[in-house]
Amino acid sequence: MTSAFGRTLLVAGREIRAERRAPDGLVAAVTFTAVLVLLESLVVGPGTVRAPQIAAALFWIALLFAAILAAARSFDRELEEDAIDAVIALEGGRDALYGGKALALVGLLGLVAAVGLLLSIALLDLSVALAGHLALVVVLGVVALPPIVVLDVALTLRLRARAMLVPILALPMLVPQLVAATQGSAAAMTGDATGALGWSGLLLAFALVYAVLGLTIVPAAIE
Amino acid sequence: MTTTTFSPIFTVRLRPWLGIASLAAAIVATYMALIWAPPDVTQGDVQRIMYVHVPTAWLAYLAFVVVFLASIGWLWSKKVWFDAVAVASAEIGVLFTGMTLVLGSIWAKPTWGVWWTWEPRLVTTAVMFCMYVGYLLLRSLSSDFERRATRAAVIGVVAVVNVPIVHLSVTWMNSLHQLPTVLRAGGEPTLDGRMLATLLVGVFAFTVIYAYLLAARVEIELDRRRRQEA
């Protein structure tokens, strides 16, 4: 008998294998983030985009949309092959599906964030005063986004207007995470270690609260 | 399997009384706000908009907390009554949040010199408004009753996080908006006695109006559900 955590890992592993075989979700998310980084200096101006608050805000908004793209693609793949029905039919399948998808999205988003961060630092010539603190904020930010993104994509499953609904639902819900991630990143870039650690703690709290909340109520809504 | 059985006391028997109470409370609150309460020393009569602005904001909080409780009720029991209360309260909450934003804007123009400014209380209130518009949109785009109610209930539970964020945003971040004067951590309300009394009567009047609108809307929702079942 597989435990709940074991089932979640199975779904996450299956997700990562599917992404390795056909990395369309990852490619779309990375390309989207890269395009946004390139456009930032054009739209905002090269001087302005180097301001820590602006650079951090644009980075996290890009990452959020990348997360929505990747999560939507992941559920689309399930629907195309009717695999979701088989997973749901299993005992604890809904919980494993939500947890596994969120866990896999953390991994995928970690890659996208790494690429986006390197591109931002290199192309926008950003200066980072506290690299370790910035890495911590990015890791915790990457963990804090998926519980809500997967929740919204799962709730709008099989709805024709999903592409429209997911950003409308996800963006307002993720405002606290976006504010914390942006302020934390900006603090790390300007050398404010206390600020960066404080915002990191908040991101960790958001990640835990929404993961528990998601695991408690979202599975009931997955069809 | 869902059921439409519910207690008719709240929606049928109480509703006419709530209507009468709403009208009486609204008349008293209007008199107190426009005539009885003194004008503000610095803002003059413009400040009187507070007697509507604050109650609508309070009502928005209350409405969304009711959505949260009704959503838990639906997820727990699958009783249609809970879903009807959730949708009714969400619609009223969106209406009152919209009113709060508009009234705030009308007050801000002569006081701050702008209709809108990017400050935490305004932005978080607008975000809360958008979130519950999304909630109603999700409901309107789902056709199957039980799926719609479950999906909406999940959003109703998660979205309530916005209520404390909006209320505490003025203390967490640097804000132009006035700090809490009634429900504040520091002690007693910092408001003139007659102004405070007028504000409390306004809050009471709007709460009764909310209860009346909720009862009417729940009745409509339950009727709709009965017709669908028939």
Q: Are B85 and B127 in contact (CB under 8 A)?
A: no
d(CA B118, CA A199): 21
Residues with Cβ within 8 Å of residue B31, at least 6 apart in sequence: none
The distance of B134 to chain A (nearest Cα, Å) reads 6
Query: Residue A201: CA atoms inside 13 Å, Cβ hemisphere, count?
Result: 5
Calculate the CA dihedral of residues A177, A183, A186, A187 and round it to 10 degrees: -120
**B62 SS3 class:** helix
The distance of B166 to chain A (nearest Cα, Å) reads 11
Q: Which one of A155, A158, A164 would you mutate to disrupt binding with B, by most B Cβ within 10 Å of its Cβ?
A: A155
Determine what percent of chain B is predicted with pLDDT higher than 70. Answer: 86
Residue B38 pLDDT exceeds 60:
yes
The distance of A100 to chain B (nearest Cα, Å) reads 19
Question: Between A and B, how many CB-CB pairs are < 8 A?
Answer: 61
How far apart are the two ends of chain B, measured CA to CA in Å? 15
DSSP structure class, residue B189 = -
Of A211, A187, A37, nearest to A125 by C-alpha is A37
Of A5, A38, A14, A26, nearest to A113 by C-alpha is A26
Give the pLDDT score at B16.
Answer: 87
Of A124, A146, A152, A2, nearest to A57 by C-alpha is A124
Domain B8-229: CATH architecture, name and number where available = Up-down Bundle (1.20)
- The question of ipTM being above 0.90 is answered as no
How far apart are the two ends of chain A, measured CA to CA in Å? 24
DSSP structure class, residue B49 = G
The distance of A21 to chain B (nearest Cα, Å) reads 32
pLDDT tens digits for range A149-182: 999 998 888 887 888 889 999 998 898 899 999 9
If you average pLDDT over every residue of chain A, what do you get?
88
Give the pLDDT score at B178.
Answer: 67
pLDDT tens digits for range B66-87: 999 999 999 999 999 999 999 9
Residue B54 pLDDT exceeds 60:
yes
CA distances from A146 to A104, A164, A177 (A): 9, 18, 11
Matching residue, tokens 């528990």: A212
Q: Which of residues 40-59 of A touch B (CB under 8 A)?
A: none
d(CA B16, CA B22): 10
Residue B108 pLDDT exceeds 60:
yes
* Structure confidence at residue B22 as a pLDDT band (50, 70, 90): very high
Residue with more model confidence, B9 or B154: B154
Q: Are B131 and B162 in contact (CB under 8 A)?
A: yes
Query: Residue B154: CA atoms inside 13 Å, Cβ hemisphere, count?
Result: 29
Question: CB A223 to CB B147 under 8 A?
Answer: yes
Of A148, A175, A217, the CB nearest to B75: A217
Question: CB B130 to CB A168 under 8 A?
Answer: yes
Tokens of B230: 């028939």
Of B134, B150, B165, the CB nearest to A221: B150
* Structure confidence at residue B7 as a pLDDT band (50, 70, 90): low
Of B130, B131, B157, the CB nearest to A217: B157
Residue with more model confidence, B191 or B193: B193
If you average pLDDT over every residue of chain B, what do you get?
86
- Residue in chain A closest to B72 (alpha carbons) equals A217
Q: Are A144 and A212 in contact (CB under 8 A)?
A: no
Side chain identity at B12, as an amino acid letter?
V
Of A38, A59, A39, nearest to A145 by C-alpha is A59
pLDDT tens digits for range A172-210: 889 889 999 999 999 999 999 999 999 999 999 989 988
Give the pLDDT score at A204.
Answer: 93
Residues with Cβ within 8 Å of residue B70, at least 6 apart in sequence: B82, B83, B85, B86, B89, B156
Give the pLDDT score at A83.
Answer: 79
- pTM, two decimals, is 0.83
Check if A153 contacts B (Cβ < 8 Å): no
Q: Are A74 and A124 in contact (CB under 8 A)?
A: no
Tokens of B61: 């909080």
Give the pLDDT score at A6.
Answer: 87
CA distances from B125 to B38, B68, B96, B129, B165 (A): 29, 17, 11, 6, 9
